[in-house]
Amino acid sequence: MWKEFKEFILTGNVLDFAIAVILAGAVGLVVTGFVNDIIMPIVGEAAGGYDFGDLKYVLSEGVGAEGDANYKPTNAIRYGKWFNTIINLLIIGFVLFMMGKAKIKFMGAAPDPDPTPDQALLTEIRDALKK
C-alpha cells in the first residue's frame, strides 16, 4: 500500500498539480494585495472618496464593547468586501487568460498525438471502404 501511494504521489501529474495549486495561492495573494492596496483606493477616490471595503448594510447594531458580558457584534451585509472579491476574480481571470495566450504564442499549440494502433487500423478500413 505504501509503495502504491509513493508511486502515485511521485507521478508528474500530481507534482505538477501541487505546484499549480501553491502558485495559484501565491498569485491570489498578490492580486488581492494589488486590488485592495492599489486599485480600490483609486476607484474609491474616483467615486468620491469611498473605501469600498468598508461599505456595508447594517442589519443590527452592535451592543457593548468586545469582551463585555453583554457584548453583541454588529450584524451587517458587507457588500464592499464582496465587490473587492469580484474585482480580484476578474483580475486573476485576466492574468490567467494572458498567461495562457503567452504560452500558446511562445510554445505553440500542442501537437496532435500519434494515432493509436486501433485508430490507425480503423483509418485504413475507412479509407478502403471509401475506394
The rounded average pLDDT for each run of 10 residues, N- to C-terminus, in the chain (131 residues) is 78 77 86 82 80 83 79 86 83 82 79 85 92 86
CA 45, 29, 20, 83 dihedral sign is: negative
Q: Mention every residue, 6+ apart, whose C-beta is less than 8 A from residue 27.
A: 92, 95
Q: For residue 12, what pLDDT is reported? A: 67
Q: For residue 124, what pLDDT is reported? A: 92
Structural domains of the chain, ranges and CATH numbers in brackets:
2-109 (1.10.1200.120)
Q: For residue 35, what pLDDT is reported? A: 80
Q: Is the pTM of this model over 0.85?
A: no
Q: Are 81 and 58 in contact (CB under 8 A)?
A: no
